């Protein structure tokens, strides 16, 4: 129906019952209906990567997904990345080496690399840059983001080895 439909969304481990129009994007529903404003809308055509969230643990553009599609899937947003307020190694590295400026693109980058680093625990710079190419940052020139991802990978390897 074009009319609003009832759906149940599981976001950051909690279930929410909502009534949404089928055309309403996941990004808008997360922000407006659930108040999860850490998901930023930068282009609405899938290029900039600011709205990247996790669908069943895989990064995806929330602007190219409709909320109605997400019933039965596990969604993760930036609000759930730091567990009980403690920053992850990636988040810590980003602040330590100044890998963010205006912060608008940052949530999408954090979510992308929280997953990517799991699959690529010992990355090289070219690999990080390739993975980062789906997120546009207008402030940093990317250099310190790359540095932060490499530093976080090293930190996580040390953590895993300990």
Partner 1 sequence: MKPASFTYHRPGCLDDALGLMATLGVTAKPLAGGQSLGPMMNMRLARPEHVVDLNDLLELDFVRVTDAVVEIGALTRHHRVATDPEIARALPLLAKAAQSIGHYAIRQRGTLGGSLVHADPAAQYALVAITLDAEVVIRSARTTRVVPAVDFVQSIMTVDLAPDELVTAVRFRRLAPAEGWGFEMFSRRHGDFALVSVALTLRRDGHGAISNLRLGVGGVGPVPERLAVVERDACRLAADVGTIAVLARQAADNVTPEDDPQVPANYRRELVEAVTARALTAAVLKTESPS
Partner 2 sequence: MTAAPFTQIGRALPRKEDARFLTGAGRYLDDIAPKGTLTASFVRAPHAHARILAINAEAARALPGVVGVFTGKDLALWTTNLRLAPPIEGLHPVEMTTLPIDKVRFHGDPVAVVVARDRYLAEDAAELVDVTYEVLPAITSAAAALAEGAALVDDALPDNLVSHQSFSAGNPLARQTEAARVVETQFDLHRHTHAPMETRGCLADWDRGREHLIMHIGTQAPHPMRSALASRLGLSENQVTVISPDIGGAFGQKIALYREELTVAALARHLARPVHWREDRLENLTAASHARETRCVTRAAVRADGRILGLELKLTEDFGAYCFYPANYMARVIAMILTGPYKIADYAFDVKVVLTNKCGNGPMRAPMAITSWVMEGTIDAVAHALRLDPLDVRRVNALGPADLPYRMATGELLEDITPLETLEAVVAAVGVPEFRARQKAALAEGRLLGLGFCSVVESTTYGSGFYKAAGIPGSGHEAAWVRIEPSGAVNASVGLMGSGQGYESPLAQAVAEGLGVMAEDVNVHMGNTDVAPYGMGSRGGRGATAGGGTLFLCAQKARDKVLAIAAGMLQINDTEGLRLFEGRVELMRGGAWEPTGLTLADVAKCAYLDPTNLPEGVDPGLDASLTYDPPPMTYSNATHACEIEIDRATGALRFDRYLVAEDCGTVLNPIVVQGQQQGAVAMGLSGALYEEVIYDATGQNLTATLADYTIASAVEMPNIELIAMHTPNRRTPAGIKGMAEGGIMGAIGVIAGAVNDALVPLGVSAQAMPFTPPRLRALIRSAGSGAPDIPRKERP
Interface positions with partner 2 (CB under 8 A): 21, 23-24, 31-32, 36-45, 47-48, 50, 77-79, 81-82, 87, 91, 94-96, 98, 100-107, 110, 128-130, 132-146
Collect all residues with Cβ–Cβ distance below 8 Å to 99 and sequence separation of at least 6. 93, 140, 144, 145, 147, 148, 149
Q: Which does 60 bind (CB under 5 to 8 A by kind): partner 2, partner 1, none?
A: partner 1
Minimum distance of partner 2 from residue 18's CB (angstroms): 15
60 binds partner 1 (CB under 8 A): yes
Minimum distance of partner 1 from residue 139's CB (angstroms): 18
66 binds partner 1 (CB under 8 A): yes
44 binds partner 1 (CB under 8 A): yes
Taking alpha carbons only, the member of 52, 53, 3, 39 closest to residue 24 is 3
Q: Which does 33 bind (CB under 5 to 8 A by kind): partner 1, partner 2, none?
A: none
Collect all residues with Cβ–Cβ distance below 8 Å to 79 and sequence separation of at least 6. 12, 36, 38
65 binds partner 1 (CB under 8 A): yes
H or E stretch at 10 = strand 5-11
The token duo for 124 is 């090289």
Signed CA dihedral, 3, 62, 16, 7: sign only: positive
Residue with tokens 């190419």: 133
> Given the rule CB under 8 A, which residues bind partner 1?
1-2, 5, 21-23, 25, 44-46, 49, 52, 55, 58-61, 63-66, 68-69, 112, 116, 130-131, 133-135
């Amino acid at each position: 129906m074009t009319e609003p439909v009832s759906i149940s969304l599981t976001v950051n481990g909690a279930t929410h019952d909502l009534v949404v129009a089928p055309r309403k994007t996941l990004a808008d529903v997360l922000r407006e209906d659930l108040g999860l404003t850490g998901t930023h809308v930068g282009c609405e055509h899938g290029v900039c990567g600011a709205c990247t969230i996790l669908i069943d643990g895989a990064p995806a553009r929330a602007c190219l997904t409709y909320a109605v599609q997400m019933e039965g899937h596990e969604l993760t947003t930036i609000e759930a990345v730091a567990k009980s307020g403690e920053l992850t190694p990636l988040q810590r590295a980003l602040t330590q080496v100044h890998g963010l400026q205006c912060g608008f693109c940052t949530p999408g980058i954090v979510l992308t690399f929280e997953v990517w680093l799991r699959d690529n625990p010992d990355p090289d710079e070219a690999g990080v840059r390739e993975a980062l190419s789906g997120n546009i940052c207008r402030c940093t020139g990317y250099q310190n983001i790359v540095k932060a991802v490499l530093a976080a990978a090293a930190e996580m390897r040390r953590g895993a080895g300990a």
